[in-house]
Structure formats: structure tokens, C-alpha cells
Amino acid sequence: MQAVQATLVAALAAAAFVFSPLPASTEESGKLVLTIAIDGAIGPATSGYVKDALTKARERHADAVILRLNTPGGLASSMREIIADVLASPVPVIGYVAPSGAHVASAGTYILYATHIAAMAPGTNLGAATPVQIGSPVPGLPGIPDKDGKDKKSAQQTEPKDTMTAKATNDVVAFIRSLAELRGRNADWAEKAVREAASLSASAALQAGVIDLIARDPVELLRQIDGRVVELPGGDRRHLATKAATIETIGPGWISQFLSIITDPNVALILLLVGTYGLLFEFMSPGAVAPGVVGTICLLLGFYALNLLPINYAGLGLLMLGIALLTIETFNPTVVLGLGALMLFKIEAPGYRLSWTFVGIVATIFIGLFLIVLGSLRRARKASAQVGAQAMRGLTAEVIDWNDIAGHVFTQGERWQARGTEAFRPGETVEVASITDLTLMVRRRSALSTGEGGMR
């Protein structure tokens, strides 16, 4: 009996061993960390990409999101949208300046301060968070030193401009200090980064309390943050369990990639101009279809890009005036178009500046097209008519039959009635002097016409 019991126990143990689940792998452990990469200038496409990625992270119940940064900055509006999404995210966001050699400046510094945990890879740097739209010194900030070592101000600087500049600077200082206090980071250095465009290396940033840690790669980053506590919206606190988690990269979708192209100010300007010329060609040659379709699409895309970018409405007005002048064929629309293009975008953020070289090339192309059109019109006015009665003058004709002062001639592949002031022989070549109704008035060919080489 005991032997039977022992055998049964052994069988049950073997069955439990065979059918018991294997140790959970990394993928089966449920630990998932998503990676978002911001490379290059920050714009509307970037903010849309981050928003979509954070939404996916929430839907997939990810343990954390790594926001990898390598950016010179970008648009303030897009930066604030990203920061708002990070602050409202129920999934912890780890800011990570990487890879080695990367840097974060301007808008990127604000975003790094907003993340729940800030990290940098060795050989990276951050800082220089002064808004680039602020172009003149403000009271109390370093200006341009003169030879005596004192600050001097631009001769063009006026008190109203100083006031507006100071207000803008103080606003962004308060913003980055609030982010620093929220995350428990060095608020004094954050203000210094705005007012004095200060920068720090990775090790200096760690010593100054600007970042939380230094990690060589994402795996080491997840290992170091494992077990840390972060505060989420609503006051919830979460212990991170990221060690050996699966890392999955979320790339930008095709919509974000498309937006990143058309929201480039140079591309937006090209779309507007191509659209305008496409519609003009369609109006001049109705029924061509292709110029109208392409022009309409480009114009709609261009206006959509303008809706996403901060623009100067005076520049837009000049651009529209230039287009109107082109439509009514005024002599000098190119100057107005050029001024409108230069004034259109009120953007000084890195990666979103309108290229002077591009504007010069566009102006040159327009001037070239204008000169070509003018030359064509001038030649058309000087050239002889190609249709109607005027087109018959000067043509040569062969006499078919003739009786006294009338007969028939052959020209332009047709038989014509003809009259003249003298008699001609059949087969003789004559010249058309004029046409009355459907009768050609012919004459003997002049010596000059004969010397030029025969029939026209």
C-alpha cells in the first residue's frame, strides 16, 4: 500500500513538473518600457508625435516611457504642448539626453525639467534656455560689454521694448522654476540657464542637482531607476519596476513625418507659391486640369502649415497682395512677394528660420520667369500674325491659270481666286500683297524677296 502511495505521489510530482508554467520571460513578465525619440527641432509634428506615443503608453499599460532628447530647441508653443502632455501622463516619463555627443538646449531644457526622472548619457550637455525670440538685453541681464567692461545697450533699444522683453523673460523664468520645484531639481541653475544661457556637462549637471543620474544606455538607465518612487498626476506615487523590462521604440507615424516636412517655413512658402502659380496657369489655360489640381492641393497644404506655425499677418497681407498683383499682371509683384515672404514667419527658433538663401533663389526664379514672359510678349507683338488675313500677306503662291488680270493661284495647300495689276504665266511664282474677302491680291515677287532665297 505504501509502495502504491509512493508511486502515486511520484506521478503527481512528475505531472506537476511537466505541466507547471516555465519561469516568465521578460516579455511575459508584463514589464514594458516605450521609447520616444526627439531628434532635431521641436515643432507641431514633434508635439503630435509625443502626444500619440504617450496615449499608446497609457493604453498598453507601460511601466514607463523613455523620452530620448537630442534637440537644439524649437517652437515655444510646441514645447508647452509636450510639457503639458508629460505632466498629465499617468505613465512615468524619463527624460534621457542621449546618445553620447547629444545636447539639449532651449525648449529641450524645459522638457527635460518637466520629466519625472532626468538622466543624461556621458559626453552630453544641456542648457542655454534663453528664449531666442528675445533679441535685446533686458534690465539686470548681461548685455554687450564695451571696452570699459560695462554693459552697453543697443542704440535702437527703447523703454517699451525693454519692458516687453523683461516680461517675456520673467515669464519663462517663472515657468522653468515651477518645473524645477515640481520635480525637486535645481531651480537657481534653471533660472541661470534662461537669463545667462548657461550650460552644463552631464557630470556637472548631476553634481548641481539638475539631473537625477547618468546612464550609458537605456538598459543601464532602467536598472538604475528600478525601485525609485515618482509622483504622478493626482498625487499618486508609483514605485518603478523597470529592471529587465522590455524596451520598445515608438517611431513617428506617417502623419507626423508629413507634418514635419510641410511645417518647415521654407517648404510652406514653396507650397503657397506653387499653389498660386498652379491656379494662375489653370485660369490662363482652362481645361488643363493638372495645374489647377496640383495648385489647389499645394495651396491647401500651405495654408494648413500656416495654421500650425506662428505667422506675421502683415507679411501674410503683403504675400496676398503680391499674389493679387501677379493675377492682374502688374509690373512689379516680385518685390511685394519678397517682402511678404521675409515678414511672413515670426519664428526665430532653431530649425524654423526662413532661409535668406532660399528667399533669394525664389526671388531670382520669379524675376527670371517675369523676364521670360515679358520677352515672349514682346516677340509676340513684333512677330507677324499667324492667322487671318494678315497671315496671308507676304506668302508666295504658284499661278495655276491666268486671264488678263485675274486667275487662280495655289498656296498653303489650297486653290485661291486671285487678281493682279499685270499678267502672269501659269507656273510662275507670285507674292500675296493682300486679301479682299476670299480673293488674293498678288504681285510679282520683289528682287529682295527673290534674293532671300525663294518661297517663304
- Over residues 244-256, mean pLDDT: 86
Asked whether the predicted pLDDT for residue 167 surpasses 90, the reply is no
Pair (378, 396) in one structural domain? no
185 is a domain residue: yes
Pair (371, 429) in one structural domain? no
Pair (239, 282) in one structural domain? no
Asked whether the predicted pLDDT for residue 116 surpasses 50, the reply is yes
145 is a domain residue: no
Pick the residue with more confidence: 279 or 448? 279
pLDDT at 452: 45
Please give the share of the chain, as a percent, with pLDDT higher than 90.
31
209 is a domain residue: yes
Pick the residue with more confidence: 448 or 97? 97
**Dist. CA 88–CA 114, nearest whole Å:** 11
Pair (359, 319) in one structural domain? yes
**Dist. CA 439–CA 149, nearest whole Å:** 95
User: In this structure, which amino acid lies at residue 42?
Assistant: I
16 is a domain residue: no
Give the E-state strand segments of 356-448 in sequence order.
396-403, 406-411, 414-419, 429-436, 439-444
- Residue where a domain stops, chosen among 332, 363, 382: 382
- Over residues 329-352, mean pLDDT: 57
Pair (355, 404) in one structural domain? no
Asked if residues 298 and 323 have their Cβ atoms less than 8 Å apart, the reply is no
141 is a domain residue: no
Pair (279, 336) in one structural domain? yes
Pair (63, 108) in one structural domain? yes
233 is a domain residue: yes
Closest C-alpha to 35, from 77, 94, 81: 94
What are the CA-CA distances from residue 376 to residues 114, 128, 282, 372, 373 (Å)? Answer: 61, 54, 19, 6, 5
- Residue where a domain stops, chosen among 210, 228, 253: 253
pLDDT at 4: 42
Q: Identify the domain containing residue 368 by its residue range.
A: 263-382
- Residue where a domain stops, chosen among 253, 285, 307: 253
pLDDT, one tens digit per residue, over 43-56 is 888 988 999 999 99
Closest C-alpha to 367, from 323, 337, 341: 337
**Dist. CA 98–CA 359, nearest whole Å:** 35
Pair (64, 202) in one structural domain? yes
Pair (208, 120) in one structural domain? yes
- Identify the CATH number of the domain in which residue 47 sits: 3.90.226.10
Pair (123, 44) in one structural domain? yes
174 is a domain residue: yes
Domain count, the chain: 3
- Over residues 143-168, mean pLDDT: 50
pLDDT, one tens digit per residue, over 62-74 is 999 999 999 988 8
Q: Contacts by 83-87 with C-beta closer than 8 Å and gap 24+?
A: 83/110, 83/111, 83/114, 83/179, 85/47, 85/50, 85/51, 85/54, 86/50, 86/54, 86/111, 86/114, 86/115, 87/114, 87/182, 87/233
Closest C-alpha to 161, from 193, 130, 138, 185: 138
Asked whether the predicted pLDDT for residue 444 surpasses 80, the reply is yes
Asked whether the predicted pLDDT for residue 377 surpasses 80, the reply is no
Asked if residues 72 and 41 have their Cβ atoms less than 8 Å apart, the reply is yes
- Identify the CATH number of the domain in which residue 433 sits: 2.40.50.140
Q: Is 98 helix (H, G, I), strand (E, B) or coil?
A: coil
5 is a domain residue: no
Asked if residues 93 and 238 have their Cβ atoms less than 8 Å apart, the reply is no
Pair (378, 399) in one structural domain? no
Asked whether the predicted pLDDT for residue 223 surpasses 70, the reply is yes
User: Which range has highest mean pLDDT (50-64, 303-317, 340-354)?
Assistant: 50-64
- Over residues 169-194, mean pLDDT: 92
pLDDT at 331: 46
Pair (192, 83) in one structural domain? yes
Closest C-alpha to 64, from 253, 226, 216, 206: 226
